Amino acid sequence: MSVPKLSLSENTEAALAKTRAEVVVVGTVRGADGLELAAGAEAVDAAFDGELADVLTTMGATGKAEETVKLPTLGRLPAGVVLAVGLGSPEVGPEDVRRAAGASGRALAGTARALTTLSAVDLQAAVEGTVLGSYTFDRYKSEPGTAPVGTLDVAAPEEGTTRAHRATLKAAGTIAEAVTVARDLVNTPPNDLYPGSFADRARELAEDAGVDFEVLDEKALARKGFGGILGVGGGSSRPPRLLRLRYRGPKARKKVALVGKGITFDTGGISIKPAAGMDEMTSDMAGAAAVLASVLLAAKLKYPLEVVAHIPLAENMPSATAYRPGDVLTMYGGRTVEVLNTDAEGRLVLADAIVRACEEDPDYLVETSTLTGAQKVALGNRTPGIMGEEEFRDRVADLAQATGENGWPMPLPEELRSDLDSKLADIANVSGQRWGGMLAAGHFLREFVAEGVPWTHIDVAGPAYHTGSPWGYTGKGGTGVPVRTIAAVLADVADHG
């Protein structure tokens, strides 16, 4: 993981006077009469005698979203290049800034130091977008690619105090760094990232952040009756684990439990998946990665909360010891589940972890996973589905939309619950219907949440992993979704209870 070093300047004019940046980033928008400069570009424009917009227009710039155009300064500025990046419409919001900053982050590859003025529009969005857009993962390449920008000078907005700007910079940098932690874990191939090695990495990160760490191996899981985790992990030569990480902040007023699915590779088990696209199942531990990154983030930002993460880890493989369709598993807490499909494994490991998390009487429970392909059918590859207790579900969805991760609230219609009735056990792990698969999975999880606990599940089956061309601040591979949503939830609970 490598993120740019961040440095705050009082304002654009002061930053330009003392910067050692090679490139200065300015924003552009599509105005009614053509390209216009965004806030923060005034001092740069002055160096071009007020003609920067005209020069950029001559070079073909239009201000459309994520457009990048480089312009040599020819000695007008200490920096040698102006990088103009489009924000789109003049009605600029935080996500517009975040995506434009992401495009600038990619364009800055190979730059030792850059100055961004997008921060004059929105400081947090500019920092998050630039850091995330700069992200690369080349650990397994014999010849690493071009290095991301090394240092990012950030011009402070005109409004607000220096103290407030520094706090925003720290929060934005820490959140972006947490996203890169999750991305790195998701992008690590499954021959190197399996339950045991994930646990080892989590221990290192927890110790560095001062977070309490515990791990249950397969023997401890058997003694304590974690039948879901053991059932799913039984087909692999690499045994399962259950991690517990705990951060207790100063003057902690609320306890938030986090649970994340950690299937380090998912073949589907005996109900094996098609070969096409199975390589993407390296991302089936994206929920675990997000939860791990989030509890570390809470510690680094010293939230006045107690945050306890429970992370079940298993590899779902077919073998002579794998669990089968038709098996009945006794879950942690004693409830029994009839397995009708071994590829509906995530809900089984999550159920064990949910029951364990609820034993600690949290004020809120947030869990996340690449739960169902049905999420992608319903909402596509960029929109997480959010289920749970209605009031808390809507609160989390609003925060997801504010962060740019765009989670959408989903119902749990009562008529779907009966589809999970089992002839053998307390509940079946899938319904016999083709429709409402994400919602049926939500019903299954709800059965294991303790009564009275405000709970939400964030299904990121599509949004956790991106296979297409880069866009905004999202490159190929792990996206780190929903770290920023969880960070926003923790901050909101810290502020409002």
Report the DSSP beta bridge partners of residue 170. none
> Is residue 126 within 8 Å of residue 103, measured between CB atoms?
no
pLDDT value at position 432?
87
Q: What span, in angstroms and rounded, lies between the C-alpha atoms of 419 and 168?
A: 47
Closest CA relative to residue 121, chosen from 88, 157, 167: 157
DSSP state, residue 465: E
Q: Would you please indicate which residues are annotated as catalytic (active-site) residues?
A: 273, 347
Q: What span, in angstroms and rounded, lies between the C-alpha atoms of 287 and 275?
A: 23
Tokens 């100063």 correspond to 250
Would you state the structure tokens that stand for residue 213, as one six-digit string?
């760490």
> Is residue 455 within 8 Å of residue 392, measured between CB atoms?
yes
* Cα-Cα end-to-end distance for the chain: 33
Q: What span, in angstroms and rounded, lies between the C-alpha atoms of 210 and 302?
A: 11
Q: What span, in angstroms and rounded, lies between the C-alpha atoms of 233 and 253?
A: 36
Q: What span, in angstroms and rounded, lies between the C-alpha atoms of 38 and 91?
A: 11
Would you state the structure tokens that stand for residue 321, as one six-digit string?
């010891």
Would you state the structure tokens that stand for residue 123, as one six-digit string?
């400081």
Q: What span, in angstroms and rounded, lies between the C-alpha atoms of 453 and 449?
A: 7
Distances from the Cα of 462 to the Cα of 134, 178, 271, angstroms: 22, 20, 21
What angle, 0 to 180 degrees and rounded to 10, lies between the N-to-C axes of helices 162-187 and 123-133? 30
Question: In the CATH scheme, what architecture does the domain 5-134 have?
Answer: 3-Layer(aba) Sandwich (3.40)
pLDDT value at position 1?
55
Task: Please tell me whether the overall predicted TM-score, pTM, comes out greater than 0.95 for this model.
Answer: yes
Cβ atoms within 10 Å, residue 459: 34
Instruction: Tally the residues of the chain.
Output: 497
Tokens 């990048």 correspond to 68
What angle, 0 to 180 degrees and rounded to 10, lies between the N-to-C axes of helices 195-209 and 162-187? 160
> Is residue 35 within 8 Å of residue 28, measured between CB atoms?
yes
Burial class (CB in 10 A: 0-12, 13-18, 19+), 490: buried
Fold adopted by 182-496: Aminopeptidase (3.40.630)
Element (H, E) at 185: helix 162-187
Positions of CATH 3.40.630.10 in the chain: 182-496
> Is residue 31 within 8 Å of residue 90, measured between CB atoms?
yes
> Is residue 480 within 8 Å of residue 473, measured between CB atoms?
no
Mean pLDDT by 10 residues, the chain (497 residues): 84 80 97 94 95 97 97 94 97 97 97 96 98 96 92 92 95 98 98 98 98 98 98 98 97 97 98 96 98 98 98 98 98 98 98 98 98 97 98 98 98 97 98 94 98 98 97 97 98 96
Q: What span, in angstroms and rounded, lies between the C-alpha atoms of 119 and 132?
A: 15
DSSP state, residue 423: S
pLDDT value at position 441?
98
Positions of CATH 3.40.220.10 in the chain: 5-134
